Chains A and B, each alone.
Chain A
Amino acid sequence: MNTATTAALSVAPAITVERRLAGDLAIWIFILAELLAFGVFFAAYAFTRANHIELFDAEQVALHRDAGALNTVLLLTASYFVVRAVQAAERLASAASARWLLAAMVCGAGFVIVKLFEYSAAFEQGVSLSSSPFHMFYLSLTFFHFMHVILGMVILGAMWFGARAGRYRPGDMNGLETGAAYWHMVDLVWLILFPLVYVIH
């Protein structure tokens, strides 16, 4: 609320130069809520795993860890491209910014495709939300995140349009930075999810 007050009441724009919150406060509230939901879900996973360690370990081995690793690379690359897109817009290079966003979307699409292959293989083996506690968490967490990637791509698409229209420039970066913050959140969640569900024994 303080941030809002300062933004609304600030008379001297000079103050805002140092320590500015990148992106809209509204998205940060949303991001915090999302991280809270994921956080509680992760805690529930850890708690249940502690009670079924052998089952979790056995079923974890059956997951496609390579696909998960590939997806980690794809998401990290996408995040890097988004950073480059923001930097390009800061330099007034709208066209370059749009290209970086397109590259990020390609990486996101790669993630979605890899994930779909992973899911179809899992479904063939009878993995479902009801087949075991581990499968419940594996599918719930990855699918919840998967939907975030898709939403993230929709947002990247909107930003791509904005960048092509030259909407973002220094001093008017709110839309771009807000979307970027959301995408980084999606990436961050995966960086916790992947080791937790796919790797840690």
Chain B
Amino acid sequence: MSSAPLSIACAALLRRDLTLAWRRRGDIAMPVLYALIVTTLFPFALGPEDALLQRIAGGVVLVTVLLAMLLALDAMFRSDIEDGSLEQLVLAPQPLALMLGMKILAHWLATALPLILAAPLLAGMLHLPAPVMPVLLLALLLATPLLSLLGAVLVALTAGTRRSGMLLALMLLPLCVPVVIFAAGAVAAAQQGLPWLAPIAWLGAALALALVLAPLACAAALRIALDA
């Protein structure tokens, strides 16, 4: 009886989810389009005043990117539950938490990475000063996986329930707040020429914690969801 090695299982799952995401490219483009529309509308609503836009640019881009991620979060495990792939994954002779970690990674690569790549354009449209741009990207690189991991736990918890979208939004809001505070804090500090490393370090610490704990929580929650 030979079961598949761990690295091969991880690669197979990652490849499957990325292939699926690529075959549904329209779904990937949607959050990016949403973020683009929202940031485009801000100057129209507030007036094209450079100083004002510069001040809000970092915060607007951060919030827009995080909200755009929420659009796709709901679907993280849905199709897997519907077509029985999740049952097969749970029953596979592999550590479920690690497999779910791969799924979360694939989801982050498919939804958050395009948004991060679009972020310089969005921030540029709002006249964010160029020296602040790397700090914004760094904040996004830490905040988006954190949100993916936290969101995955909540999606797993609400997986068994019908119309989980509403519940998910309510539960995610308080978890989003500290992420936004630290990420925006770093960008604002950089913009004022103050040291910005501390909030970034907090984000990194939270990410390290979530990387370890979130997949485990996800696995437990999904086992319970299937048990119902």
Q: Do A and B bind each other?
A: no
